[in-house]
Amino acid sequence: MAPETAEKKVYDMIILGAGPAGLTAAIYGGRANLDVLVLEHMISGGEIANSERLDNYPGFPEGISGVEFGQLLEKQAARFGAEIIPASIEEADIHGEIKKVTSSMGNFYGRTIIVATGTSPRLLGVPGEDAFRGRGLSFCATCDGPFFRDGRIAVIGGGDSAVKEALYLTRFAEKIFLIHRRDKLRAVPFLQKQILNHPKVEVLWDTVVKSFDGGQQLEEITIENLKDSSTSSLPVDGAFLYVGRVPNTGFLKGVEMDSQGYIITSEEMETSVPGVFAAGDVRRKFLRQVVTAAADGAIAAMMAVRFLE
């Protein structure tokens, strides 16, 4: 058990983020008898909790809902003694032997830190993007798709997320416009085949969004065709933005990161700072999937155990 003093409790392991990486680390840390704290400002499950279905995690032949998967992970981590506190992380002072995390719920102290804060949606930086957020512009098809029943929906992006979520939205929408800046999708062939053959979907190739427009609610999107530089208005009821992700590392100082802000680790999830590990989507890696996040979490936790020894 971690020592406690009159002033502060010092955890063996503080895990930042309760997605698949963070909660797997919590399961492994708990099973190793460590005193584990997990800080998370959203519901458990991380990004996958926004996904209607997790279809490619081994052991679930019929798939499983993202929310349910997150709840199961949380339950499993709690069974092994992890304490999970809802808190937003503001700052982390990670260079001493005892590391301090400043959060919306106060300060927490730990001997090791596992950063598993994942990523957030990338923004386009065009007019109307802030103003119509939650007023027709969404980042979560599972949460907001049903609001646009029988409507016209734009989905922006050409990767796996955009295509997968556009396919999900076909359940509700009368018409989907997939707006992609190139003439070829980035999504895997399996998804491409489905979207390109779907009767409700029209792909607007070589097209970018110039602005989101409307009154109280989003009403139309101004788009530009990059081939002929023509602009036009696309009337829509809703729009979903899936143009990639950015790492949640803004609170962290003095850890080696790449030019995009992803944390650079060894294969053992060690960062450039002793006692600080990173796991899941937040680190620079080849494949960002739930299964690789879980694997990262297990390795990070076992390395933290070794560090503490």
Active site residue 35: no
Name the active-site residue from 144, 213, 237, 296. 144
Beta carbon of residue 106, minimum distance to ligand NAP (angstroms, whole number): 33
Residues in the chain: 309
Q: How far is CA 210 from CA 129, 134, 162, 181, 218, in A?
A: 10, 19, 18, 12, 14
Specify the stretch interacting with ligand NAP by CB under 6 A; choose among 79-87, 129-137, 152-160, 232-240.
Answer: 152-160
Choosing from 55, 143, 183, 258, the catalytic residue is: 143
Identify which of 30, 35, 33 has the alpha carbon closest to the alpha carbon of residue 12: 35
**Burial bucket for residue 25 (CB in 10 Å: 0-12, 13-18, 19+):** buried
The tokens for 291 are 């299964």
160 is an interface residue for ligand NAP by CB under 6 A = yes
Under the binding rule (CB under 6 A), the answer on residue 158 touching ligand NAP is: yes
Phi-psi map region of 138: left, alpha, beta (phi>0 left; psi -120 to 50 alpha): beta
Site string for ligand NAP, 92-131 (x = CB under 6 A): ------------------------------x-x-------
Element (H, E) at 281: none
Least distance CB 285 / ligand NAP (angstroms): 9
**Lookup: tokens for 188:** 């895997």
Rounded CA-CA distance 54/185 in Å is 22
If you search the block for the tokens 């680390």, which residue do you land on? 25
Is the Cβ–Cβ distance between 6 and 103 less than 8 Å?
Answer: no
Closest residue by beta carbon to ligand NAP: 159
144 is catalytic: yes
Catalytic site includes residue 143:
yes
Counting contacts by CB under 6 A, is residue 162 touching ligand NAP? yes
Distance of closest approach, residue 135 Cβ to ligand NAP, in angstroms = 21
> Should residue 261 be labelled a site residue for ligand NAP when binding is judged by CB under 6 A?
no
CA separation (Å) from 139 to 50, 197, 294?
A: 9, 24, 24
Q: Which is nearer to ligand NAP, 152 or 181 (CB)?
A: 181
According to the binding rule CB under 6 A, does residue 157 interact with ligand NAP?
A: yes
Site for ligand NAP in 241-260 (CB under 6 A): 242-245
Using the rule CB under 6 A, is 88 a contact of ligand NAP?
no
Active site residues: 140, 143-144
